[in-house]
Copies of this chain bind each other. A is one copy, B any other.
Amino acid sequence: MTDSSVDDVEALVRDEPAGSKMELRLWLRLLSCSNLISAEIRRRLRVDFDVTLPRFDVMAQLHREPDGLRLGDLSRRMMVTNGNITGLIDRLAEEGLVVREADPDDRRAITVRLTRAGSKMFRMMAAAHETWIHEMFGRLTPKTLDRLLDDLQALKVSAAGGLRGADPE
């Protein structure tokens, strides 16, 4: 048993309604930013390229690995479940954008990579995507941008430390 149990008790005893409300507001604001932007990106991917965001994300990962990725690696990188990846790759393969390849050394494993068509398609989408991001983020000053990058990193660390079952070390 470590000091963490003491911290827990203190956290339960301490009541700070003001601080809690601020934290809640921040969470809601973060969520609305994220949703606003991702909804717009989804919309543009659909209208301009007839592609969904998850498909785009898969292709982005594969584009960085010309030799392909195992399905398990893909699901870990995208932080989604295995079953999800199976379906996404099914659909992308139907469209001829990716191919599944058996691993000669491990018959359980399957490697996926972009086809030539998939790679070409991704490069077009990535260029558009970058300009979209600039349209939406471009009104931030470089200073604000830097600050957000830092502060969100701090938030990420804070949140990761608050995960249930997180190791307090």
Residues of A within 8 A of B (CB): 11, 19-20, 22-27, 29-40, 43-44, 79, 130-140, 142, 144-149, 151-164
Would B154 and A151 count as touching, CB distance under 8 A?
Answer: no
Are the C-beta atoms of A27 and B23 separated by less than 8 Å? Answer: no
Chain B residues contacting A34 (CB-CB under 8 Å) are 30-31, 33-34
Instruction: Identify A140's interface contact among B37, B38, B132, B158, CB under 8 A.
Output: B158
Number of chain copies forming the complex: 2
Q: Please classify the interface of chain A as helix (H, G, I), strand (E, B), loop, or mixed, using the class held by over half of its residues.
A: helix
Contact A162 B140 (CB under 8 A): no
Q: How far is the CA of A134 from the CA of B22 in the complex (A)?
A: 10
Q: Across the two chains, which residue of chain B brings its CB closest to A149?
A: B26
What CA separation (Å) do A159 and B38 show in the bound complex?
A: 10
Contact A147 B147, CB 8 Å, known A23-B133, A161-B139: yes
Report whether A148 and B26 are in contact in the complex, using a CB–CB cutoff of 8 Å. yes
Return 21 A-B CB contacts under 8 Å, by A number: A20-B134, A22-B145, A22-B146, A23-B133, A23-B138, A23-B140, A24-B130, A27-B133, A29-B149, A29-B153, A29-B156, A31-B38, A33-B155, A40-B162, A40-B163, A137-B158, A137-B159, A138-B162, A144-B155, A147-B147, A151-B151
Distance A162 CA – B130 CA, assembled complex (angstroms): 13
Q: Which A-B residue pairs are the 4 nearest by beta carbons?
A: A139-B158, A136-B162, A135-B162, A34-B34
